[in-house]
Amino acid sequence: MALVEIHNLRVRFETDEATIYAVNGIDLMVEPGQSIGIVGESGSGKSVSVTSIPRLLPRTARVEGSVYFNGKDMMRATASELQAIRGHQIGMIFQNPHAYLNPTRTIGKQLMEPLLFHHLAGVKRARAMGMEMLDRVGIVNPKARFDNYPFEFSGGMLQRVLIAMALITGPKLVIADEPTTALDVTVQAQILRLLKEMQRELGMSMIFVTHDLAVASQVSDVIYVMYGGIVVERLPAKQLIRVHRHPYLSGLLASLPRVDEPVGRLPFIPGLPVNTRQPLSGCPFYARCQWHLDQCQSAPPLTLVERDHEAACWLADERRVANGQPS
């Protein structure tokens, strides 16, 4: 049984001015111990999709579809059932650690919270576990750092604290929502290595959200590429460069700068991201796609093009297109 099963998830935000169609029907599966990466540009609905697993979206969000975690129907779970799962079985790591920590509470007090909220340990035991966890995520001298405040830490150190906080209860799933985006490159590499190590060590599943293809392929087994609130391609991370099918993913890969080639003008995907204020009709990439057909006015389904590899493109069929270009 899969740990996470999402089927036809749709999320929209209703405000007075407009309705935002953030997620337009996605399917997603995470096996125990598996690490999946969700890649997409801003506004593609990747964060919203994963935040709906522990049902942490704001009240304005209208969520439809089914979300199962560890066999539990999250859409029908009561507030106290959700509370029992959050922070205990699902750990979350956020993008900007400065914003996601209470500035007037010590690191240690916040670090102990998951244990105390779920009555997994008393204060004394929680304190010891917290220090041990800080040590494991590479905080030097955890004893002294325990009673420091967030503003006394650097961004990279805080992200380590956030990781410690998410993992302290030994969750079955950790959701990392762009955990390295706010960090500089060297720190980013350290954090990624740490996350990957901890994930293997504790045997957890991980959902890693990022806009960075390289990062996603480093830490995950399977990659979901999102565009316009749908999954346009799902493929094993190892095959990312070799066999991608969707023109959007091809465009993304082509626009990565390479250090081993002469410096020239970077290719980019022309056009603007999808307008999420209208319900999605047809292929979301239609307007920006150079290969688009009349057929693309109706939404292409996510179809299996080879083993473990799906793409949502009318041209994705192996006979007609390879690496996102018609043959």
- Nearer CB in complex with other proteins: 3/90: 90
Q: Where are the alpha helices (DSSP H) in the chain?
A: 46-51, 79-85, 107-117, 123-136, 142-145, 155-167, 185-202, 213-219, 240-243, 247-254
Minimum Å gap between C-beta 295 and other proteins is 42
- The residues in 161-180 that bind other proteins, with binding defined as CB under 8 A, are 165
Please state, in angstroms and rounded to a whole number, the distance separating the CA atoms of residues 256 and 239: 17
Backbone phi and psi for residue 94, each to the nearest 5 degrees, phi listed first: -105, 175
Please state, in angstroms and rounded to a whole number, the distance separating the CA atoms of residues 25 and 11: 8
Minimum Å gap between C-beta 110 and other proteins is 8
Q: Is 125 left (phi over 0), alpha (psi -120 to 50) or beta?
A: alpha
Q: Would you say 130 and 214 are in contact if contact means Cβ atoms under 8 Å apart? A: no
Minimum Å gap between C-beta 92 and other proteins is 4
Under the binding rule (CB under 8 A), the answer on residue 151 touching other proteins is: yes
Q: What would the 3-class secondary structure string for 174-229 be?
A: EEEECCCCCCCHHHHHHHHHHHHHHHHHHCCEEEEEECCHHHHHHHCCEEEEEECC
- Give the torsion sign (CA, 111, 221, 21, 244): positive
Minimum Å gap between C-beta 137 and other proteins is 16
Among 62, 105, 193, 320, the residue binding other proteins under the rule CB under 8 A is 105
Please state, in angstroms and rounded to a whole number, the distance separating the CA atoms of residues 249 and 311: 10
Q: For residues 277-313, b (16+ Cβ closer than 10 Å) or e, as one string?
A: eeebeebbbbbbbebbeeebeebbebeebeeebbbbb
- The residues in 44-83 that bind other proteins, with binding defined as CB under 8 A, are 54, 56, 58, 83
Among 6, 48, 92, 252, the residue binding other proteins under the rule CB under 8 A is 92
- Nearer CB in complex with other proteins: 118/293: 118
Under the binding rule (CB under 8 A), the answer on residue 84 touching other proteins is: yes
Count residues contacting other proteins (CB under 8 A)? 29
- Nearer CB in complex with other proteins: 59/124: 59
Minimum Å gap between C-beta 191 and other proteins is 17
Among 19, 66, 70, 96, the residue binding other proteins under the rule CB under 8 A is 96
Among 13, 149, 286, 291, the residue binding other proteins under the rule CB under 8 A is 149
- Nearer CB in complex with other proteins: 43/54: 54
- Nearer CB in complex with other proteins: 167/225: 167
Among 100, 135, 253, 273, the residue binding other proteins under the rule CB under 8 A is 100
Residue 72, SS3 per DSSP: strand
- Nearer CB in complex with other proteins: 91/229: 91
Among 10, 12, 46, 86, the residue binding other proteins under the rule CB under 8 A is 86
- The residues in 107-146 that bind other proteins, with binding defined as CB under 8 A, are 113-114, 117-118
Neighbours of 10 (CB within 10 A): 20
Contact positions vs other proteins (CB under 8 A): 54, 56, 58, 83-88, 90, 92, 94, 96, 99-106, 113-114, 117-118, 149, 151-152, 165
